[in-house]
Homo-oligomer: A and B are copies of this chain.
């Protein structure tokens, strides 16, 4: 078995470490950076069967917008390529895609369609950010607070049958506005946590020369579920499109922002939950 992160790491010699280190590619353009990201979603592996096609279109766009948000950027446009099994699915898919673009003040600028046995959606997000506001995965400093936006675990809870959280899973809201505010607030590093909090912390640990310690009693858990289950969902569940970031304590609290302080950056290059190693577990594509 080989997982997604191992496979991507095998490309470092070919494309450079910087290329795979961030949520988006980063291109300098005069006094700004252009950022760009692409996300592929397949019917069987990425879309729960209860979703509507409108929601599939929405989710594809949300996945790319979330990566743009993680750089502190504002989106310029979205492109969507569709591998289409049945022609009548195109319109509702694109209605959902356009709705997600409009909700986040961007446009669907183009795309491609191709005939395919299994529905496949690939969305590309392109954004722009002032050079002094860009936030990368690297840059965390010892003593910084570790924070996340929003309540964690609802998307995974829905996947596991708690259908009252279905909207969180099917119609995720990328944190574009929050990303822009955080870019102006002295955040030192950031990424989105669509594969789960634990995997995301390990992703940050790989590219920063620091460690991360979080505390179970500080996690932003689903209040209606038993604490143990809610904690498991928050740590290892996928599908939340929230932002994970580090920020000096002096910049806290962040007024008007739905964010929670869940731990601190430490000198020891480990990822710890209440002092014990946090397992490397979450949502990953795997190949036999």
A contact set with B: CB distance below 8 Å: 2, 4, 7-8, 10-11, 14-15, 19-20, 22, 24-27, 29-30, 34, 36-42, 45-46, 76-77, 79-84, 86-87, 90-91, 94-95, 98, 108-118, 120, 122, 124, 126, 128, 285-287
Task: Please name all residues of chain B whose beta carbon is closer than 8 Å to the beta carbon of A112 when the two chains form the complex.
Answer: 37-40, 122
In the complex, what's the smallest C-beta–C-beta distance from A274 to chain B, in angstroms? 33
Q: Select from chain B the residue with minimum beta-carbon distance to A89.
A: B287
| Contact of B110 with A40 in the complex, beta carbons under 8 Å | no
| Contact of A94 with B11 in the complex, beta carbons under 8 Å | yes
| Contact of A109 with B77 in the complex, beta carbons under 8 Å | no
| Contact of B110 with A20 in the complex, beta carbons under 8 Å | yes
Option from B29, B30, B114 in Cβ contact (under 8 Å) with A46: B114
- Determine chain A's interface SS by DSSP, over half rule: strand
| Contact of A95 with B4 in the complex, beta carbons under 8 Å | no
Task: Please name all residues of chain B whose beta carbon is closer than 8 Å to the beta carbon of A30 when the two chains form the complex.
Answer: 30
| Contact of B115 with A19 in the complex, beta carbons under 8 Å | no
In the complex, what's the smallest C-beta–C-beta distance from A76 to chain B, in angstroms? 5
Number of copies: 2
Q: CA of A142 to CA of B50 in the docked complex: distance in angstroms?
A: 54
Q: A14-B98, A77-B36, A79-B36 are in contact. Are A116 and B110 (CB under 8 A)?
A: no
| Contact of B110 with A36 in the complex, beta carbons under 8 Å | yes
| Contact of B91 with A10 in the complex, beta carbons under 8 Å | yes
Task: Please name all residues of chain B whose beta carbon is closer than 8 Å to the beta carbon of A90 when the two chains form the complex.
Answer: 7, 10-11
Q: CA of A150 to CA of B259 in the docked complex: distance in angstroms?
A: 58
Can you report 25 residue pairs joining A to B where beta carbons are below 8 Å apart?
Answer: A7-B90, A10-B91, A11-B94, A15-B94, A19-B108, A24-B110, A25-B109, A26-B109, A27-B126, A29-B29, A36-B110, A36-B126, A38-B80, A40-B81, A40-B114, A40-B120, A41-B114, A45-B114, A46-B114, A81-B122, A86-B287, A114-B285, A120-B120, A122-B122, A126-B126
Q: Select from chain B the residue with minimum beta-carbon distance to A83.
A: B40
| Contact of B82 with A19 in the complex, beta carbons under 8 Å | no
Extra contacts, 14 of them, besides A26-B109, A39-B81 (Cβ < 8 A), are A14-B94, A14-B95, A19-B108, A19-B110, A29-B29, A34-B34, A34-B126, A37-B112, A38-B122, A40-B122, A42-B115, A87-B287, A115-B286, A115-B287
In the complex, what's the smallest C-beta–C-beta distance from A64 to chain B, in angstroms? 10
Task: Please name all residues of chain B whose beta carbon is closer than 8 Å to the beta carbon of A286 when the two chains form the complex.
Answer: 115
Q: CA of A121 to CA of B110 in the docked complex: distance in angstroms?
A: 17
Task: Please name all residues of chain B whose beta carbon is closer than 8 Å to the beta carbon of A20 when the two chains form the complex.
Answer: 110
Task: Please name all residues of chain B whose beta carbon is closer than 8 Å to the beta carbon of A111 when the two chains form the complex.
Answer: 38
